[in-house]
Amino acid sequence: MVRHNNQLPDNLPQLQNMIKRDPDSYREEFLQQYHHFQSVLEIFRLEPDKESKSLCESIMFLAQVAQCYVEELTTFPQTIVDILKTHSTTLNSEMRNTFCRALILLRNKNLISPLDLLELFFQLLRCPDKALRTFLENHIITDIKNMNAKHKDMKLNSTLQNFMYTMLKDANPKAAKMSIDIMVELYKKHIWNDAKTVNVIATVGCFSKVTKVMVASLKFFLGTDEQDVKGSDEDSDKEVNLKGIMMTNRINKKTKKRKKQLEAAKKLYNQAQKKKTKAESFNFSAIHLIHNPQGMAENLFKQLQNGNERFEVKLMHLDVISRLIGIHELFLFSFYPYITRFIQPHQRQVTRILQFAAQSSHELVPPELIESVIKTLVNNFVSERNSSDVMAIGLNAVREICVRCPLAMNEDLLRDLTMYKNYKEKSVMMAAKSLILLYREQIPMLLAKKDRGRPTEASAEIKPKQYGEINTLDHIPGTEALLTAAPDLEVGEASEMSSESDDGWVDVESDDEIMNEKRKEITVVKPKETKSSDVEDQSDDEDEWETDSEAECGESDGEDSNHEEKSKDKKSVNVIQTNKKKNEKSTTQKCSSETDLTTLNSKEAIQELALTKLFTDADFARIEQEQVKKKMTHNNRKRQLEKEKSEFVKLDDIEMIYKKRKTDKEARIESMQKGREGREKFGYKDNRHDPFCSKTNREKRKGKNFNMIRHKARGKVKKSFREKQLALKKHLMHMKKMK
């Protein structure tokens, strides 16, 4: 077959298209281009530092059609790999990028193994070409992600990880920095989020001699929480924008473009709602996966003391060390005197240093070490020679430290700090009250009696722990409520109970009645019949005494109040008083014996309940309700605040100052506009009965331009005596002529 106007040998894109459609028919043209590639390659090897556009075109052409002629191009991928390995630093940048793109095409067609290609690309990270390094980084991350999309290839991942760990120790700082960035990105994408990756970054990256690698490794252990906060903020902003689009579509004119925007907005809004309803997944942060946290903390502290890095890098060291100590409850006693030196109001980033001091506190640290930190903090911050903001920050920092180590506070110092509850500045007053509230929950005996608050069942059960003491329970707290609860609770009732407990409102009176009735059913003691032959008639005083004795003993069987028979003979008052004393003594003994019996029976029942029963949602709701009731008094039904211990200390908890802060102009304008909503318009008000009636000239003049009424605005000017004389003369002359 003769082809007219055959331009295929010169038009490679057209030839490429034809070959993909019918490879067999265009085998000769392909072989011709392949021989041309070999000849151009030989010429290139003579001068590898010069650019060869024909070689680049031939390589891209062969990479595009390689899947059509696999046998002929068996050695083609290895040829390109050898060129890049041999002449990686001397190649022209455009040619080097072309060779890498050709290898990626071959990788996508499974014509080259991923391990060989990734090893080559890691070696190319040493090249002084920033654009190439960024391109290779993106491809490595994407390729590893695609390989682990369906299932994780553990063997391949292990081989790649071992190779990447050697790259972290590379002499080239750019290659080492790129390697740590790739590992961190793969961890964030939940591809290499195993303990092996974390420990390599901890042991190699955090102690690298290259500052950029060390800083990137430290940020890896600090930056996961910040990203979660940013992600939640972005989701909330997106949701607000979606609502705005839906509102504008209702008001504006209906068009096809706006209709498409509305559909896209609804789709994104539905996705956001699905994310909210989706069950929350709890992932351990990287700092939990470290195998030897004690050794890492000690080595980081040595590096901090011996190093000469910038202040920002030192703060990163302190942050990581404090998190390691707090989460893993480590012992690093020399850390506390070191950080105490920086606790000064004029110190740069002092609030962050206070945050690190709180993070490094836990219950296993000897209280003497933490107490020295607290005393330094109080002496330097909580003093009237400082401003109210400094005092409030100091008290907040003391509270955060005492949350994690309550035994570090002594009684004298605590009572001195609680005196600031009556301070003139609100920020200091609120900070002192928060410290009082904390020790009401932890160790109320350290507080003054007036600061302990009203006693509750929960406060009565609080027993301060000694240093190193662990409270072990043989039952689930609050399960005593199940002994008196209804046997069958519906799920709806459980949800109502949980909602009530969340809101902080519980029907205490009704619960008390139920508790008393059920308790009587369980621990009833049969009353003994008594004869009333000794006392024939009871006076009103005796009736009152019986009522009081029943109130004191809630589980009394009413032995003295319900007499079946009354005697008719009257005795003397001395006999009545004697009987009253006897009855009072017997009632007291009966109350104490019944109380001990009830307590013993309830403990055994609670232990048996925890071992034999599977709790339902209704049971847990009842338990939660009982725990809330314990923290209440009869006169105050508000739920008491309880400071919960968290792994990381939030900087806002230390910098939290209760006062009105200065705002910028935009915020002030926004607040002014909010205050004007629902208010009558400021300005002139037309108070006429009929707003459509005509206006006077004086009213119309207010809306006219000034130039129109300027001549009238001058007003009347008083005439001089001479002007009045001439005017009178003129008037008299005029009157004379008229006659």
CB-based contact 374:409 (threshold 8 Å): yes
- For residue 14, CA distances in Å to 29, 31, 101, 105, 681 come to 12, 16, 20, 19, 73
Which tokens hold the place of 22? 């019918």
Domain of 85, CATH number, reads: 1.25.10
203 and 56, same structural domain? yes
169 and 227, same structural domain? no
CB-based contact 398:374 (threshold 8 Å): yes
pLDDT at residue 33 greater than cutoff 70: yes
Q: What is the pLDDT of residues 428-450, one digit of tens each?
A: 999 999 999 999 888 888 889 88
Question: Is 560 within a domain?
Answer: yes
Confidence of residue 240 (pLDDT cuts 50, 70, 90): very low
Q: How many domains does the chain have?
A: 4
95 three-class SS = helix
Q: Which residues contact 249 (CB under 8 A, 6 or more apart)?
A: 258, 259, 261, 262
Cα–Cα distance between 423 and 405 in angstroms, integer?
26
Which tokens hold the place of 248? 């504008």
Which residue, 440, 380, 353, is CA-closest to 654?
353
pLDDT at residue 504 greater than cutoff 80: no
pLDDT at residue 678 greater than cutoff 60: yes
Question: Is 726 within a domain?
Answer: no
Please state the separation of Cα 36 from the chain's center in Å. Answer: 62
Q: What is the pTM of this model?
A: 0.65
pLDDT for 344? 93
Q: Work out the number of other CB atoms within 10 angstroms of the CB of residue 301.
A: 19
Confidence of residue 155 (pLDDT cuts 50, 70, 90): confident
Question: Is 4 within a domain?
Answer: no
* Residue where a domain terminates, one of 212, 232, 247: 212
Cα–Cα distance between 392 and 373 in angstroms, integer?
17
* Residue where a domain terminates, one of 605, 635, 665: 635
Phi, psi of 525 (to 5 degrees): -110, 125
Confidence of residue 550 (pLDDT cuts 50, 70, 90): very low
pLDDT for 544? 37
392 and 428, same structural domain? yes
584 and 516, same structural domain? yes
Structural domain harbouring 628: 479-525+532-635
Question: Is 338 within a domain?
Answer: yes
The alpha carbon dihedral of 480, 481, 486, 491 has a sign of negative
pLDDT for 298? 95
- The DSSP code for 2 is P
Question: Is 669 within a domain?
Answer: no
237 and 203, same structural domain? no
pLDDT for 659? 65
178 and 38, same structural domain? yes
pLDDT at residue 548 greater than cutoff 70: no
Cα–Cα distance between 23 and 65 in angstroms, integer?
9
368 and 260, same structural domain? no
Which of the residue ranges 280-284, 326-330, 557-561, 651-655 has the most confident prediction, judged by mean pLDDT?
A: 326-330
Question: Is 724 within a domain?
Answer: no
Question: Is 608 within a domain?
Answer: yes
pLDDT at residue 356 greater than cutoff 50: yes
Question: Is 643 within a domain?
Answer: no
Confidence of residue 458 (pLDDT cuts 50, 70, 90): low
447 and 505, same structural domain? no
Q: What is the pLDDT of residues 380-426, one digit of tens each?
A: 999 989 999 999 999 999 999 999 999 999 999 999 999 999 998 88
Confidence of residue 213 (pLDDT cuts 50, 70, 90): very high
Angle between helices 367-381 and 350-359 (to 10 degrees): 160
pLDDT for 586? 52
**Residue of 491 and 711 predicted with greater confidence:** 711
Cα–Cα distance between 603 and 611 in angstroms, integer?
13
pLDDT for 413? 93
* Residue where a domain terminates, one of 212, 245, 263: 212
142 and 19, same structural domain? yes
Helices (H), 329-461: 335-340, 350-359, 367-381, 388-404, 411-418, 426-441, 457-461
Cα–Cα distance between 461 and 629 in angstroms, integer?
13
Q: Looking at residues 38-60, what average pLDDT do you find?
A: 88
Q: Looking at residues 489-506, what average pLDDT do you find?
A: 40
556 and 436, same structural domain? no
Q: Looking at residues 583-598, what average pLDDT do you find?
A: 49
50 and 191, same structural domain? yes
162 and 135, same structural domain? yes
Cα–Cα distance between 169 and 133 in angstroms, integer?
18
